[in-house]
Chains A and B, each alone.
Chain A
Amino acid sequence: MEKQNGSLEIKVAQAVLPDELVLGIQGYSGCPGDGCNADQGGCTHDASCGQDC
């Protein structure tokens, strides 16, 4: 999406996240597996379980 705003040309887009990085664990309200501890903040140990969240 590209928008023109007055004299300023500003490109605004919905961000596309790189596929190779897990940049956000959605938490239990959005997780099909109903989440894990990660949505409570996560940890260097148990922030991921491999389920697609």
Chain B
Amino acid sequence: MQPVSLVADTLVVKDSESYIIYSPFSGKIARVPAYPDIGFAVYEALENTGFFGKVPDTTKRDTVQTWDGFHSLTLLLTRRCNLGCSYCYASAKPTGNSMLEELAVGSLEWFIRQLRNDSIRVSFHGGGEPTLESNLIKTVVARAKEICGKKKLRFQVVTNGTANAEFMDWLADEKFGISISMDGPPDIQDRNRPLAIGGGSSVVVEQTIRRLVAQNYPFTVRLTFSPADDIVRIIRYFGNLGVRSLHIEPLFPHGREYEVVAFGKRQNLYDIYSPEGGELLVSFLKAIEIAKEYGMRITNGHLSHFTKGVGYFCGAASGRSMMVTHDGFLSGCLEVVDAQDKDSKIFFLGRYLPYERRFELNENQLATMQNRHADALPECKTCYARYTCAGGCAVKAVRASGDFFERDLPYCRFTKALVPIIVKRIAQASNI
């Protein structure tokens, strides 16, 4: 028997001579002496306690007919970047093009016109460094305030942390959600994420982090990890800086320096490399232990869905989050950032029509994306972790295999191994 299985969408983990039963959707946990087969005494006893939760709506599968529009907007403002990160998925350059103001504002206005709820959520993200277009960000925010009516506004930025103090303070004043990409102590940061003009970026990014910490402003550091580095040292560095929220992701070997999509250590091939699932697990568990000492909270793209349950891994690759590239396309992925990307045919699902100030949506593309669902993917639909990772990141699968309906395999192995460990930790914390 596998170390973990599902009964009625509830996780069953063998633990010594008993079983831990955890229902993420009811928030209940139990320890039972025998496997809770449906129809048998243990199952019925659990059912009588109201143990089994209803699968949440967040796992529902969309169709073009039931699609209720985009729920959030992300603007990929520029292909320009002041860093030259070795693993950059977008191969951004100091001379890249940026989005025109007309497109940025037109995207916002169209998004709000089609929005069916009361929450306007706008993110500014990469393909380049969004804060290099700080005036454009301010323009979009100002326009959103003008036209939001009674709807609530919420902004977010994912940045390399090199913006000046004045702009960072403005982001804080506007209550932006802020995610700063940084990889660790100066030697690691400067090797992985050097300035495009040469030299390290650690000094300026560290200053940004210290400033936010001093203001007691909540933010997350997003860490790209290679097992070439010591995760304990990295976590202690961030802990001592005062970081209290860390988003850890493995390095994905799809960037400008990676001609081969390969996982695990390849001797003499690259200085830093993408971990296999098992390697990542070992490092992640170490990270959790060290983070505890600092009162730091850790997550990653898979764990963050664990108790909520999702049918789609990604909002963009399911047509729920609207992402606009600097050159006016609707992209189903943050990493497919312009029409030059060879996978744009797979991920683009529409384009901006400037004379009509609206987007044209390709419904066939939308339908394809809606089919990459946890209940539909052949390798996922019976998996116990299906509503945790829902197949994982589509672009990672495409870059590695060419198949939109494949899984992100290294991350799949990591998640499957991590789930029973997490359930045991929950049991321990719950004193069960």
A residues contacting B by CB (< 8 A) are 3, 5-6, 8-28, 33-52
Contacts and interface: CB of A to CB of B under 8 A. Distances in A.
B32 A10 contact: yes
A10 B45 contact: yes
B156 A8 contact: no
Contact of B49 (A12, A28, A34, A41): A12
Contacts, number: 217
B177 A36 contact: yes
B315 interface: yes
Nearest to B429: A16
Interface of B: 22, 24, 27-33, 41-42, 45-46, 48-49, 51, 58, 71-72, 74, 117, 119, 121, 123, 125-126, 152, 154, 156, 158, 175-179, 218-220, 222, 244-245, 247, 249, 252, 288, 291-292, 295-301, 303-308, 310, 312-318, 320-321, 334-335, 390, 393, 396, 422, 425-426, 429-432
A35 B56 CA distance: 18
A34 B119 contact: yes
B49 A3 contact: yes
A36 B48 CA distance: 37
A45 B126 contact: yes
B298 to A, nearest CB: 6
A41 B30 contact: no
Contacts of A18: 288, 422, 425-426, 429
Contact of B310 (A20, A41, A51): A41
B422 A42 contact: no
5 contacts: A12-B29, A19-B295, A36-B121, A40-B314, A40-B321
Listed residue (A11, A17, A36) with the most chain B CB atoms within 10 angstroms of its CB? A36
A12 B30 contact: yes
Given A12-B51, A17-B429, A23-B304, 17 more contacts: A6-B45, A10-B49, A15-B426, A16-B430, A18-B288, A21-B298, A21-B299, A21-B303, A22-B304, A35-B72, A35-B119, A41-B305, A46-B125, A47-B247, A49-B178, A50-B218, A51-B177
A47 B299 CA distance: 9
A12 to B, nearest CB: 4
A41 B72 contact: no
A22 B247 CA distance: 9
Contacts of B310: 41-42
A24 B315 contact: no
Contacts of A33: 154, 175, 177
B30 A19 contact: no
Contacts of A50: 177-179, 218-220, 244-245
7 interchain residue pairs of minimum CB distance = A40-B315, A49-B177, A24-B307, A22-B299, A50-B220, A5-B45, A50-B219
Contacts of B297: 19-22
A38 B306 CA distance: 12
A34 B28 contact: no
Given A14-B430, A51-B218, A41 B27 contact: no
B72 A15 contact: no
